Amino acid sequence: MYEQLQRIPEVIFVPLGNGTLFIGIIKALEEFLRDGIIRHMPQIYAVQSENCAPFARAFAAGDRHIPPVQPSPTLAEGIAIGIPMRGDEILHYVYNHGVIVITAPENRILEARERLAAQGIYGEHTSAATYAAYLALCDARGELRDPLIPMCGAGLKSDH
């Protein structure tokens, strides 16, 4: 993303299940900070399914440990992880870097997927969930300046 844009966006949305993409983005941004490539961390929103949100629960309560969650059915199965293996590590990054953990409204995932498709992006449900969370946040707070929303999976993964 930095190579293509020659900068880091102001706001980054990241789907959060087991945390692989999240940790990778955080570690890269930490290196950019250390090396002086960027001056500050962008605002990061970690997105969970509202039907399986152990990080969102912990974040809302200010907890430092992840409560086990039994996932309810969700279209965003790629982030439906009830007991994330690296939960405490991820929470450390959340609190250390001012990450905000939000949930994707289940009832907006298909709408978000259709809106992405109308823009030529054929994404799977978990990517659409991240976009649904972005749309819901914009509805609540207004448009965000310079957001990045990674599309992590092709639509064939969840075609129906």
- Residues 96-129 have pLDDT tens digits of 999 999 999 999 999 999 998 898 987 788 889 9
Residue 4, domain member (yes or no): no
DSSP state of 115: H
- Domain extent, residue 34, equals 12-154
Domain count within the chain: 1
pLDDT at residue number 153 = 58
Residue 29, domain member (yes or no): yes
Residue 154 has pLDDT above 60, yes or no: no
Residue 5, domain member (yes or no): no
pLDDT at residue number 19 = 93
CB 43 within 8 A of CB 98: yes
Q: Tell which wins on pLDDT, 77 or 98.
A: 98
- Residue range 133-156: average pLDDT? 85
What are the tens digits of pLDDT across the range 28-51? Answer: 999 999 999 999 999 999 999 999
Residue 2, domain member (yes or no): no
- pLDDT-derived band of residue 160, with 50, 70 and 90 as boundaries? low
Residue 3, domain member (yes or no): no
Considering the chain, what percentage of its residues have pLDDT values greater than 90? 76
Residue 21, domain member (yes or no): yes
Give me the CATH number covering residue 37.
3.40.50.1100
Residue 120 falls in which region: left (phi positive, over 0), alpha (psi -120 to 50) or beta = left
Structure pTM? Answer: 0.91
39-48, 71-80, 96-105, 145-154: least confidently modelled range? 145-154
38-52, 69-83, 143-157: least confidently modelled range? 143-157
Please write down the HEC assignment for all residues of 19-84. Answer: CHHHHHHHHHHHHHHHCCCCCCCCEEEEEEECCECHHHHHHHHCCCCCCCCCCCCCCCHHHCCCCC
Residue 155 has pLDDT above 60, yes or no: no
Residue 25, domain member (yes or no): yes
Residue 8 has pLDDT above 70, yes or no: yes
DSSP state of 153: S
Residue 133, domain member (yes or no): yes
CB 124 within 8 A of CB 71: no
